[in-house]
Structure 1
Amino acid sequence: MTDQHDEAPSERREPRLPPRWFVRTAWVVHRGYFRVTGGRRGLWRPRSDKWGTMLLRTTGRRSGREHDVIVAYYEDGPDLVTLAMNGWAPAEPAWWLNLQAQPDAVVVTPDGPRAVRAREAQGAERERHWAAFRRLGTDLDGFAPRRPHTAVVVLEPR
């Protein structure tokens, strides 16, 4: 029996994901938990070995209404960095489509709210952030083939 880590990269199997209904339910429960606790629970700071979670508030590209989502992030100086991965489903997450149409947003971290402007990291910067997320315990390279492209989103203070 071969250990998955001993296999050549081309022979590695994609990691298993829970069913889509479970992933979506977990997102709804997480946001609900955050709301029910008045924002006192449900967000955590990133550590040197683990990403944190923040609430991201975007403006709907069609409705113009505010939309909240909780996403993983890490800090890169004053910037916050996240991945537009939609639970590794092929479609782009709605929050990323909203940010492409209206890049100004608000995030809430355990340290409080802040105004940000979103942009997609490119080239060497993207590779640096991807490598940082890889070190934070996420099997990015195993899950990434499920999506045509996963944007690395940089949220800069404004």
Structure 2
Amino acid sequence: MSVEHRPRAPRLPPRWFIRLAWSVHRGLYRTFRGRFGLWRPRTNGWGALRLTTTGRHTGRQRSVIIGYFEDGPNLVSLAMNGWGEGEPAWWLNLQTHPDATVDLVDGRRLVRAHAATGDERLRLWARWREIDTNLDAFAALRTSETAVVVLEPRPGATDPVPGS
């Protein structure tokens, strides 16, 4: 007799808690003028970067801190909105204005965003799955597919931005 074991759906903290945690994180980043809050990806782990996009409605600069890993010269993130429904505002902004700036521990970079598709998406999703073994269970909490966002160096902008 075989018993089928289904993985339990992961439990997420309440939405208000997730928003509060990210607000505190952004506040610490601002308070310490960028010396706290960003880190490079660890071995088989993810890092944190500050992404600045152009608002799709306002045209104003909008910043958010997101997780990422490195794929050659590219930085890869997930448009997951705390695993809640809907797309995060930063991803909607990038779909309208794909040129953005990222702040990393070692400086600032000019990037252009695109959603990974096909084989690229499968490869990068598998890499995220190595980093987070619960990735598929978290993604199943959403009714829409979670975009894999690739931030590639902007053409003609190979060096870090001066003064960063």
- Which range, TM-score by smaller chain? over 0.9
| Equivalent position amino acid for 1:65 in 2 | R
Please show how residues 68-83 of structure 1 align to structure 2 within 5 Å.
Answer: 68-83=63-78
**Are 1:114 and 2:114 counterparts?**
no
The size of the alignment, in residue pairs, is: 151
Root-mean-square deviation (Å): 1.2
Q: Secondary structure of the equivalent of 2:66?
A: strand
What are the Cα deviations for residues 14-71 of structure 1, in whole angstroms up to 9, with x where unaligned? Answer: 1000000000011111111001001001000002221000000000000110111000
C-alpha change, 1:58 and 1:142, in structure 2 (3 Å) is same
Structure 1 length normalisation: TM-score? 0.92
Q: 2:147 aligns with which of 128, 144, 151?
A: 151
**Are 1:25 and 2:13 counterparts?**
no
**Are 1:58 and 2:25 counterparts?**
no
State the identity %. Answer: 61
* Residue segments in structure 1 that go unaligned for 5+ positions in a row: 1-5
| Equivalent position amino acid for 1:149 in 2 | E
Structure 2 length normalisation: TM-score? 0.89
| Equivalent position amino acid for 1:87 in 2 | G
| Equivalent position amino acid for 1:153 in 2 | V
* Residue segments in structure 2 that go unaligned for 5+ positions in a row: 155-164
C-alpha change, 1:7 and 1:78, in structure 2 (3 Å) is farther
Q: Is this contact kept in 2: 1:48–1:136, CA < 8 A?
A: no
| 1:149 positional shift | 1.2
Q: Distance in 2 between matches of 1:7 and 1:128?
A: 29
Divergent runs of 4+, >2 A: none
Q: Distance in 2 between matches of 1:81 and 1:129?
A: 8
